Each structure stands twice: as structure tokens, then as C-alpha cells.
Amino acid sequence: AQKITQTQPGMFVQEKEAVTLDCTYDTSDPSYGLFWYKQPSSGEMIFLIYQGSYDQQNATEGRYSLNFQKARKSANLVISASQLGDSAMYFCAMGSGGSNYKLTFGKGTLLTVNP
């Protein structure tokens, strides 16, 4: 069975600083994908970034980067130059089964960006 653990229920960061949101995972599948989604207070789920288990390099998407440490089974999200609009819930998820079709989500981290 797959499991995602997000140990930080809440995080605070000052505007313009960088912040790391932790995510560890557990799976016996050799092939899997790791995803991060953002859920602002309006409720929608916004895809941020993806990392495949066989990808050699860490994924980056604008101000988002994924610190993928396969041996430690961690996939931390790094947000650089935080903005007030980054305040939201952030969910780490893992897809497995070859096609990533069944996502397992963590419980999320509530990020608050302070001015």
C-alpha cells in the first residue's frame, strides 16, 4: 500500500523568503510519480509540479522545485521568493501502478506567507 506523510500541519514564512514543505512516501512499486498540488481558500486543486521515480534531475517549475531524495523516500517542495498569494494548503501526492492513475494524498500543510 502507498502512504504519504506530511509532518508539518502548518508553516509560516516571510514574504520573499524561501520555504520547504516536507513530504515522505512509502511504496513497494519501483515506478511511481510524485505530485504537489496547491489548494487556496477558494477550494480548487491546482497542479504545481511532478517528479517521476526514474527522473535523474530534480523537477523545477518557475518558483517551485522538488527536492527528490529517492533513498530517503522524500519529495520536499521548495518555494522560492514567497508571495502573499502562496498562502494555501499544499498537498503531496503519489501515483503508482504504472500510469499514476491512483493518487494517494497526504493530509496537507497549511502555508501562511506573512508580509
Partner 1 sequence: NAGVMQNPRHLVRRRGQEARLRCSPMKGHSHVYWYRQLPEEGLKFMVYLQKENIIDESGMPKERFSAEFPKEGPSILRIQQVVRGDSAAYFCASSPGSLQSKNIQYFGAGTRLSVL
List contacts with partner 1 (CB under 8 A): 4, 33, 35, 37, 42-47, 50, 52, 91, 93, 95, 98-108
Q: How far is the CB of 39 from partner 1 (least distance, A)?
A: 9
Rounded distance, CA 23 to CA 92, Å? Answer: 6
Q: Taking a C-beta distance cutoff of 8 angstroms, is the pair 52, 70 a contact?
A: no
Closer CB to partner 1, 11 or 103, in the complex: 103
Closer CB to partner 1, 16 or 107, in the complex: 107
Rounded distance, CA 31 to CA 8, Å? Answer: 26
State the number of CA atoms in the 13 A half-sphere of 47 facing the CB. 7
Q: Taking a C-beta distance cutoff of 8 angstroms, is the pair 4, 105 a contact?
A: yes
Closer CB to partner 1, 86 or 108, in the complex: 108
Q: How far is the CB of 40 from partner 1 (least distance, A)?
A: 11
Q: How far is the CB of 80 from partner 1 (least distance, A)?
A: 22
